[in-house]
Structure 1
Amino acid sequence: MNNKAIATPTRTKEILKNYGFSFKKSLGQNFLIDVNILTNIIAEAGIDDTTAAIEIGPGIGALTEQLARHADKVVAFEIDQRLLPILGETLSEYNNVHIINEDILKADVAGMIDEHFEEGQKIRVVANLPYYITTPILMKLLMDRLPVDSITVMIQKEVADRMAAEPNTKSYGSLSIAVQYYTKARVALNVPKTVFMPQPNVDSSVLHLEMREEPPVHVDDESFFFDVVKATFGQRRKTLMNNLARHFKGTLDKEEIRSRLAEVNINPQRRGESLSMDEFASLANILYK
C-alpha cells in the first residue's frame, strides 16, 4: 500500500489544512488515521470485488478509499455538505464510488439499493459511526429489514459490548436482545482511541452483525415483545415481578402475572438479565394472550 493512503496522520492533516476544515462536535466527527485498522475492518466485513458496500459518514474518505479498492461498488451517505468537495478530490481516482449528501436516518436506503446495486448482489454496510447516534442508525437499518447481508461498524466499545452481550452479564440488556433478534453479533476487534483524529474520550470496537434470515424465536407480536423486554430491564436491580407489575399496572394484576409466569416456568424472583432470548419470547407470548 502506498503512503498516499488518506488514513495517515500527515495526509489527513494536509487535507484538512488545504480545505480549512474544522471538526463539528455536533456531528461526532472522528477520522481514522490508521491503515492497518481499516484493512482489518475490510477483512472482518468480508468485502471482495463482488460486494456492494454502503458506508455511513465517510468523512474525508479514509475508509471509503479502502472500500473502493476492494469492493465492486460503494455508496456513501454524508450529512455534512462541507465534506462533499473534499471527497470529490480525495476519491477522484475511483469510479466505483457514489456519495449521497443525506442524513441516513431520513434516507430511503431501500430505494438507493434498487437504484445503485445489481439484483442479488451481496450488500454489506461498513462504517465508522458517530458515537452519539450509533443506536438509532443501527436500529433503523435492522428494523427496515433491508436486503443487506451484514453490518460491520466501528462504534463505542461499551455499546458494542452491550449489543453482543450474553445473558447474566453486566452489559446484557434490552439493546442486546433487540440487536440479536435480527442478527448474530460479535465484537470483531477492539480499537484504541489513538487511531482517530481528533481523539475521542472513549475506546472503540468493531462490531460485526451477520443478518439472520429469520429471528431465532417466534413471537406473537414484535412490538409487544420488545416492550416486555424493555420493561423487565426497567430497573435492573428489581425482580421480573416488580418490573412487570409496574409496566402492566391497570391491565394485569400481580396474581395474573404470577400465574402466567408459572405457566412458562419462569420464577418471578429472577431478574431480566438472567433470561435468555427463548425465555423472553415465551414470557411475551404468554402475556400477550
Structure 2
Amino acid sequence: MNSKMHLGHQAKKRFGQNFLHNDAIISDIVDAINPEVGENLVEIGPGLGALTEPVAERAKKLSVVELDRDLAHRLRHHPFLAPQLTIYETDALNFDFSQLLTQQDGSERPLRIFGNLPYNISTPLIFHLLTFKDKVKDMHFMLQKEVVERMASGPNCKAYGRLSIMTQYQCEVIPVMEIGPEAFNPAPKVDSAIVRLIPHKTIKNPVKDINALNTVCLAAFNQRRKTIRNGFKKLISVEQLASLNIDANLRPENLTIDDYITLANFIVDNPVEETEQPSDKKQSRRAMKRAQQQE
C-alpha cells in the first residue's frame, strides 16, 4: 500500500472499515484475482488502495466504487493511480453495476468484481451483486470467515442456510484462503477469508422465480430448529410436502438445494391465498427481517 495514502485517515466504524496492510497477503490476493490488461475490473470499497495499486499495475485501468468521500477524494488526487481509475462515489448497495459493462470503444465486457467488503453489509451486498450475475465473469471478496463458510456449506451442516442455497444456486463457490485479524488495521475481532464466486453459465435445475426460492429459504431458516412441517405451515401443507416426496419431519438444514427449488416451484404454481390479518402480516415481516439480519 502506498504509505502516503494511509496518512491522516482514521478508519470509520460506520463504514465497517478495516484496511489491509500485509504485503505478502495482498500479493496472494492479487494473484488469486489474476487481473489482466483489457479486462473489465471493478473494485468495491478500494479504501486506501491496498488492492487497487497492485491490480492497477497489472490491469492498467479499473473502476472503483467508494462510499467514503474522503477516500474517494484521496484516490482522485493519487499521484499515479488517479489516471488509471474511474471513480464512482456512491453506495455499492444501490449501484447499478450493469452501467459498467460498456467500454469506451462501445464493446461490452463481462465484469470482474472484487473487494474487501464491509462485514456489516456483506450479505445484502452479495445478494445485490447476484442480481447482475449474467453480466459477471467472476467475483473475489474478502469476507468474514464465518460468512464464507456459510456460503460454501452443504446440507446437514450447521452453517448451511439461506446464504448457502441462494449463492450456490447462482454461482460456483470456491473458498480461496483464510486471513487472520493481524493483516488489517484496525484488526477486526474475527478471522477473514477470500471467496471466489463464478456465476453458472447454465443452471441445470432452474427455479421458476428466484424470489420464490428466497421466500422458502427465509421461511425455513427463520425457524431453523423447527421441523419444516411447522416452518412451512403458512406456505404448504404436510400433505403437499408428501406429494413432493419431502419429509415434513426434517429440519431446514436437511433439505438439499434441489428440494428448495421444488418447494419454490410449488408455491409459484400454487400461490397461498391472502388470509393473514394485518397483525399477522406485521409479525411475518418482523420474522423475515430477523432471519435476514441473522445472516
| Bin for the TM-score computed over the shorter chain | 0.7 to 0.9
AA of the residue aligned to 1:272:
P
**Match for residue 182 of structure 1 among 146, 165, 170:** 170
Distance 2:188 2:106 in 1: 37
Which residue does 2:31 correspond to in 1?
Answer: 43
Which whole-Å deviations, capped at 9, do the CAs of 1:144-169 have from their partners, x for residues lacking one?
34511111000111111111111111
Q: CA deviation at 1:233?
A: 1.5
Whether the 8 Å CA contact 1:50–1:122 is kept in 2: the answer is no
Which residue does 1:59 correspond to in 2?
Answer: 47
AA of the residue aligned to 1:281:
I
AA of the residue aligned to 2:181:
K
Distance 2:40 2:243 in 1: 47
Say yes or no: does 1:277 pair with 2:257: yes
| Residues 237 and 117 of structure 1, relative CA distance in 2, 3 Å threshold | farther
| Residues 22 and 155 of structure 1, relative CA distance in 2, 3 Å threshold | same
1:1-289 paired onto structure 2 within 5 Å: 5-6=1-2, 11=3, 14-17=4-7, 20-90=8-78, 92-93=80-81, 95-114=83-102, 119-145=107-133, 147-245=135-233, 247-248=234-235, 257-289=237-269
Whether the 8 Å CA contact 1:56–1:78 is kept in 2: the answer is yes
AA of the residue aligned to 1:16:
H
Q: CA deviation at 1:283?
A: 2.3
Whether the 8 Å CA contact 1:190–1:206 is kept in 2: the answer is yes
Q: CA deviation at 1:91?
A: 5.4
| Residues 132 and 93 of structure 1, relative CA distance in 2, 3 Å threshold | closer
Whether the 8 Å CA contact 2:56–2:81 is kept in 1: the answer is no
Distance 1:285 1:178 in 2: 15
AA of the residue aligned to 2:203:
P
Please list every run of at least 4 consecutive aligned residues from structure 1 whose deviation after the TM superposition is greater than 6 angstroms.
none
Q: CA deviation at 1:142?
A: 0.6
Q: CA deviation at 1:262?
A: 1.7
Supply the RMSD in Å over aligned alpha carbons: 2.0
Q: CA deviation at 1:96?
A: 2.6
Whether the 8 Å CA contact 2:40–2:101 is kept in 1: the answer is no
Q: CA deviation at 1:93?
A: 4.9
- How many residues are matched? 269
Distance 1:134 1:117 in 2: 33
Q: CA deviation at 1:272?
A: 1.1
Distance 2:104 2:13 in 1: 31
AA of the residue aligned to 1:101:
E
Q: CA deviation at 1:134?
A: 0.8
Q: CA deviation at 1:117?
A: 7.9
Whether the 8 Å CA contact 2:5–2:49 is kept in 1: the answer is no
Q: TM-score, normalised by structure 2?
A: 0.84
| Residues 93 and 21 of structure 1, relative CA distance in 2, 3 Å threshold | closer
Whether the 8 Å CA contact 2:101–2:109 is kept in 1: the answer is no
Question: What is the SS of the residue equivalent to 1:186?
Answer: strand
Question: What is the SS of the residue equivalent to 1:119?
Answer: coil
Worse-matched range after superposition: 135-144 or 210-219: 210-219
Which residue does 2:281 correspond to in 1?
Answer: none
Distance 2:63 2:161 in 1: 33
Structure 2: which 5+ residue stretches go unaligned?
270-295
| Residues 227 and 169 of structure 1, relative CA distance in 2, 3 Å threshold | same
Which whole-Å deviations, capped at 9, do the CAs of 1:198-251 have from their partners, x for residues lacking one?
111111010110011233422222212221122122211111111111x33xxx
| Residues 91 and 134 of structure 1, relative CA distance in 2, 3 Å threshold | farther
Structure 1: which 5+ residue stretches go unaligned?
none
| Residues 86 and 287 of structure 1, relative CA distance in 2, 3 Å threshold | closer
Whether the 8 Å CA contact 1:179–1:185 is kept in 2: the answer is yes
Whether the 8 Å CA contact 1:45–1:150 is kept in 2: the answer is no
